Amino acid sequence: MNERIRAQKPYPMVELARRKADLLAQGVEVLDFGTGDPVEPTPEIIRKAFVEATPEISQYPTVAGSQELRQAFADWFARRFGVTLDVDKGILPVRGSKEAMFHLPLALLDPESERKAVVYPEPGYPVMELGSLYAQAETHGHALTADNGYLMDPRDLPAELLARAAIVWISYPHNPTGTDGTPGLFEAWVDAREQHGFVLCSDECYTEIHFGENRPHSLLEFGMEGCLAFHSLSKRSGMTGYRSGMVAGDPELVSWYRQCRAAMGQAMPIMTQAASLAAWSDEHHVEARRRVFGDKRSLMTEGMRDLGLQVWPAESTFYLWVRVPQGHTGQSYADLCLDAGIVVSPGSFFGEGNEGWFRIALVPSLKDCAEALSRWPVV
């Protein structure tokens, strides 16, 4: 066994599923705010496109996916961010951003090189670290806290580390806190990339779940060379089970990754590509989903504050990052919530140093959110 992998804790969402199953086996009515897997129906236009494109004969999809799908994504990206992408060389369909993020270090990192460090935010999406471990990288989680506003600033990292980094991950809007990246922050990272030569990767899966006056940015608005952006339809379009994402950016990097992915897998199935094309081509369903999440966000934010709990002031994602009550850790408070049939994610699931927080995923219905608040533990 790979000792580096065996030393890791169970993947957080697997642990949440286990706890939920234990409660259900005990006959407890569970309200699950743990895993970010919303219950709202996938829009009809997407489901219809999937069904209509289901072929009589099933064959392997290509690695690059269809030209029409890549064009639909490029058109959306241009409308949304004002950036022109190379449809043939600068876009790659993937089976959800998770597997693409996991595989990327295998394509870009040489474990025999001096440049083998991977830097990522902590708290953050665990796959950034896990994929790097499998690729035999040196892993460096950079601590984000309330004190630095959960903003990962290159000026706070050692120049020596950035000089030997193969990959640096940034993640805005940020999971789990919902914090948005500022234009100045993106510009600083593009400058740092130009100075040190690492590949700068941006997890942008939550750019379309926003509630403030300003819409979140993409890294590619500020730089293209040496930059990759990862997008997904899971949250934007309610397609978590479809496994549909996109990698876009520097054509040279995307072309190399496309070549490597021939050994790792293909694009999503043909019918999923058709459903994805429909999703990238429509904004009405996205606006409707934002309204639903906005209603739940308002209810739960007010409810947490009524309970005397501090919610981190952020304006994106469908997560709330909440400070645990005095005398508790994220884990002990999550256990207390479990006793009431409520599943939340302890902050420690997202990296060391976050024991004083827990995450609420706004997954249950508005009615179930209200029910959860009625039984939420008071300490």
Q: List the CATH number of the domain containing 221.
A: 3.40.640.10
Q: Which two tokens stand for residue 321?
A: 């990052």
Amino acid at 213: E
Amino acid at 142: H
Amino acid at 111: P
Per-residue pLDDT band at 352 (split at 50, 70, 90): confident
267 and 342: one domain?
A: no
Bridge partners of 122, per DSSP, are 143
290 and 252: one domain?
A: no
24 and 159: one domain?
A: no
Q: From 105, 252, 115, select the one nearest 196 (Cα to Cα).
A: 115
Bridge partners of 123, per DSSP, are none
223 and 157: one domain?
A: yes
Q: Map residue 42 onto helix, strand or coil.
A: coil
For CA atoms 59, 60, 64, 69, give the dihedral sign.
positive
- Convert the pLDDT of each residue in 67-101 to its tens digit: 999 999 999 999 999 999 999 999 999 999 999 99
235 and 219: one domain?
A: yes
204 and 351: one domain?
A: no
Q: Which domain holds residue 260?
A: 44-280
Q: Which two tokens stand for residue 217?
A: 């940015």
Question: How crowded is residue 306: how many other Cβ atoms within 10 Å of its Cβ?
Answer: 10
CA 305 to chain centre: 26
HSE toward the beta carbon, residue 215, CA cutoff 13 A? 11
Rg (CA), the chain: 20
Given 224, 246, 280, the domain boundary residue is: 280
- Convert the pLDDT of each residue in 165-205 to its tens digit: 999 999 999 999 999 999 999 999 999 999 999 999 999 99
Structural domains of the chain, count: 2
Q: Which residues contact 96 (CB under 8 A, 6 or more apart)?
A: 232, 234, 243, 244, 245
Quote the pLDDT of residue 16. 67
User: Residue 317 belongs to a domain with what CATH number?
Assistant: 3.90.1150.10
Q: Which two tokens stand for residue 323?
A: 């400070």
- Convert the pLDDT of each residue in 216-229 to its tens digit: 999 999 999 999 99
125 and 190: one domain?
A: yes
80 and 130: one domain?
A: yes
**Residue 64 per-residue DSSP state:** S
82 and 225: one domain?
A: yes
Q: Map residue 320 onto helix, strand or coil.
A: strand
105 and 226: one domain?
A: yes
Given 280, 297, 321, the domain boundary residue is: 280
Task: Look at the chain and count its residues.
Answer: 379
Q: Map residue 319 onto helix, strand or coil.
A: strand
Quote the pLDDT of residue 37. 85
- Average pLDDT, integer, range 280-296: 97
195 and 237: one domain?
A: yes
174 and 66: one domain?
A: yes
Given 255, 280, 305, the domain boundary residue is: 280
Distance, CA of 192 to CA of 209 (rounded, Å): 28
Percentage of the chain modeled with pLDDT above 70: 96
Per-residue pLDDT band at 22 (split at 50, 70, 90): confident
- Average pLDDT, integer, range 105-133: 94
